[in-house]
Structure 1
């Protein structure tokens, strides 16, 4: 048993080390130059595409792209608690949840106009609606195996991360031009920007209170990742052809996410453990995204085409308009 585990570790080690090194480089660029770490991880990984086919590294790269992803998403649960959800009040919670549902539904409706199938529309719409790269990778892990799945995932991660960075810069300006109060601004930023890091950057660029609120709203959106993945897995199980392998009804990493969130809500996770788990989650997701980049061919990414970019742009604009309209109606 121990020998088998050691052999597996030796098989995975080279690819895992390379994915880890790419993650470290991406974090370095983030800390020293302000570049989005997730975007840097996938862009630095893509030129190393040949390593995903190299015998000595292929297994480790594949493990990083799949298993590390699930570990990272599961550990996001330590940042969620029921107290966070209760802080905002029912009307704002309803707005946040309906924004997620409406954006995914809108994506499924308009995807065909851009020449994309429902799976791609759901992948990109879920990434926009929930939490950017993390959501894209979680949703991608439950979708049926199909040609160009890695390409579509990499494209979605890159596009939502770039748009999230653009939103971080311009959404505070839009909030100021619309003369939104600090609470409304926090809800707008947290309810519309794709990635957590960019929400933090946008919110705290205005004020500490706005930063705290926008981060809270964003983490509530992250909470919705679990039910969205669950419902999607349920639908996908029904839609597969007889005899084909069905996705699990509730993936193990989603169960772990919910369990950790429940433990955190009961104050059973010490702050020190929470901090360590958050850091492990971040590094696991960075390494996983680096591995996704390594499994992605740059020429294949270019095959996705302009309509796909415009689809994600339209999804982003829809979510922003939906949340702004909700804030206006709620007064």
Structure 2
């Protein structure tokens, strides 16, 4: 069966399973499910990929990926920032900058990880899990194995954190809103913020989701700054090359335009539903294609170091986020 039939089926299956209550309770969104199903297909399929299959896989990983992220912006609005207050924005900014800086420096300098693995893992932990890793991929142009490693570690510790939040809530003296800000500023995935907040109460979940979406909104300026920083780094390290091309991720401007449009225009719920599904389906297709072309042996070769880095960032998120939320909210 050709991939242009298999990939949509896998993507739809991942989206459907993510809506099942027993699955969503674990904070598993459609994206990590799609990459796992894609990996199973890539390992057990007897079909030999031809040039058409390869071309369709590249189309999913490049065009559909960017299209999905642009549409993702319609789920955000600047009114959400105003609703939770400036403290949530400050906490998000501090956590993103701290996690990404520590993750990149420790990953490259201390653990001696490949630069791309360290940056992807740090970006996924700092902002919004798999979606941030996919967006960062457009700037780094890493190997697909590096992307899979980063996503696997982020999903693992993001899921673990989701079970820790209810336990922490029982032992601390925080309001529902402040604890929601804590969850939203530290949870890896949007789905995990929903699941963790829901385990507390409705008010906590609503606040957690809004704060988490503010972190997602910061993905656009993050990608632009990363592109400029990497260009300067490459220019400094390559003195022989006279011309340096700045990689401009144009889809990021589309993402920002979508969020701005959603802030100004009140879209009908039916249109929002279509845009949300289209975004999720496009990103799930990209993840399926990525998983199908990833070999498990290459992940095993990475060893325990990516897990160590992700665990360190997980600890900083849980402890650092709690300290900031307690002090500022």
Match of 1:106 in 2: 102
Distance 1:299 1:222, change over 3 A: same
Distance 1:66 1:87, change over 3 A: same
Q: Distance in 2 between matches of 1:88 and 1:81?
A: 12
Match of 2:217 in 1: 223
- Following superposition, the deviation at residue 243 of structure 1 comes to 6.4
Q: Distance in 1 between matches of 2:177 and 2:18?
A: 29
Match of 1:34 in 2: 23
Q: Distance in 2 between matches of 1:294 and 1:181?
A: 44
Task: Identify which of 128, 139, 142 aligns with 1:142.
Answer: 139
Taking only aligned residues, the RMSD between alpha carbons, in angstroms, comes to 2.1
8 Å contact 1:126–1:135 — kept in the other structure? yes
- Following superposition, the deviation at residue 267 of structure 1 comes to 2.0
- Following superposition, the deviation at residue 271 of structure 1 comes to 3.1
Q: Distance in 2 between matches of 1:27 and 1:244?
A: 44
1:233-252 matches, within 5 Å, as: 233-240=227-234, 241=238, 242=241, 246-249=245-248, 251-252=249-250
Q: Distance in 2 between matches of 1:302 and 1:285?
A: 25
- Runs of 4+ displaced beyond 6 Å: none
SS in 2 for 1:248: coil
Q: Tell me whether 1:152 sits opposite 2:151 in the alignment.
A: no
Larger displacement relative to structure 2 (77-86 or 219-228): 77-86
8 Å contact 1:22–1:41 — kept in the other structure? yes
Unaligned runs of 5+ in 1: 1-12
Task: Identify which of 107, 119, 123 aligns with 2:120.
Answer: 123
Distance 1:246 1:220, change over 3 A: same
Match of 1:6 in 2: none
Unaligned runs of 5+ in 2: none
Matched residue pairs, number? 315
Task: Identify which of 175, 185, 205 aligns with 2:199.
Answer: 205
SS in 2 for 1:142: helix
Distance 1:292 1:91, change over 3 A: same
Q: For residues 229-258 of structure 1, what are the alpha-carbon distances to aligned partners after superposition, in whole Å with 9 as ceiling and x for unaligned?
A: 000111122233436773533x12101101
Distance 1:261 1:176, change over 3 A: same
8 Å contact 1:52–1:294 — kept in the other structure? no
Larger displacement relative to structure 2 (101-110 or 36-45): 36-45
Match of 2:129 in 1: 132
SS in 2 for 1:246: coil
Q: Tell me whether 1:96 sits opposite 2:92 in the alignment.
A: yes
Match of 2:65 in 1: 69
